[in-house]
Amino acid sequence: MEIRGIVDNSILSHLEEIDVLPKQTLILCDIEGAEFDILNTKVLNDLRGAKIIVELHDRVMNAGVALRNALIERLPDGARYRILRSGESLSYNGIEDLERLSDNDRALVLSDGRKVFGEWMVIDYP
């Protein structure tokens, strides 16, 4: 992993400097709502071919679903996307320490404390 600074319209040149090709790249993007600004048309086109996993924060922002729809519309031709939603609890089966806890304590251990369940957009190319 290499951290090079902020992501902006010059992302492709930063990747080229370290010989990283988008088609060989997995990008994890969790930037607390800034994904709707940073992932503009130029950046998305420059990253064409990369697999991008973006944690979506639109449901906790004023513009809501309009932000998500605008991001989807900016995806380059040929890109496909799917939305992953958390919803299933993590399994504690076979983890003896968790099996011994009460339901309430186990729920606290397995929770990540979110006010709303998480959603992630996975962008890739067939």
Q: Is the model's pTM score more than 0.75?
A: no
Q: Where are the domains of the chain?
A: 11-124
Encode pLDDT of 40-74 as tens digits. 999 999 889 999 999 888 776 676 788 889 999 99
Encode pLDDT of 100-119 as tens digits. 888 888 777 766 666 667 78
Distance set, CA 79 to CA 23, 42, 87, 89 (Å): 12, 14, 26, 30
